Amino acid sequence: MIIAVDGPAASGKGTLARRLATHFDYAYLDTGALYRAVGVHVLSTGSDPADDAAALSAAQQLDMTSLNNAQTRAALRTAEAGIAASLVAAKPQVRACILQAQRDFAHNPPEGKAGAILDGRDIGTIVCPEAAHKLFVTASPQVRAERRFLELRQDDDQLELATVLQDIQDRDARDSQRTIAPMKQAADAHLLDTSDLSIEEALQAALAFIAR
């Protein structure tokens, strides 16, 4: 059983996917973290995430098992990591490098789990087009910026909402307009707009869709 959860930055897809994984006791993979790890690795070597060779080399060295510790996860959540991730994610060689690992996770979930939930941008369209259930989670740019602002503001009290909104709009444009695996709703995906929903309401809406 594979459930694909796609959508733009800060749409609530990660929280929802995690809650669904707990509900069904399925394995969960945050595929954005893979691209973030590649982007952060490039930055740590002093290279530019827009550089093809640096991005490919970082993707080839990616170790998925290293992403589970709390310190690494915190380093991956920064605004810089998100921007670097979006830049490396537009490169076909980087995506090719990461594609098989995502499919392996989906088809052979760890710990013998009976299913897998993957969240990202292209899970329902490219990584697992055969997924049993597909959700495309979205929210208005303003609502997404406010959510991300509240999250990032904890570590940066100089941060401004307008900066976060601009970052989100730039990332939406880059992720949906790139030629390889652009972010888009799969034809058979269910659209879930979380602009006016609490986490619990979004979870109930997703469960109702899956039950249908």
Rg, the chain, Cα only: 16
* 36 is a site residue for ligand DC (CB under 6 A): yes
By beta-carbon proximity to ligand DC, the closer residue of 85 and 143 is 85
DSSP H stretches of helix in 89-160: 92-107, 141-153
CA distance 85 to 38: 7
* 122 is a site residue for ligand DC (CB under 6 A): yes
By beta-carbon proximity to ligand DC, the closer residue of 112 and 179 is 179
* 3 is a site residue for ligand DC (CB under 6 A): no
Question: Is 194 in contact with 139 (CB distance < 8 Å)?
Answer: yes
CB of 85 to ligand DC, least distance (A): 4
Q: What sign for the dihedral angle of Cα 39, 6, 203, 197?
A: positive
CB of 160 to ligand DC, least distance (A): 19
Exactly one of 21, 27, 58, 85 binds ligand DC (CB under 6 A); that residue is: 85
Helix (H, G, I), strand (E, B) or coil at 30: strand
Q: Which residues bind ligand DC (CB under 6 A)?
A: 9, 31-32, 35-36, 82, 85-86, 89, 120-122, 171, 175
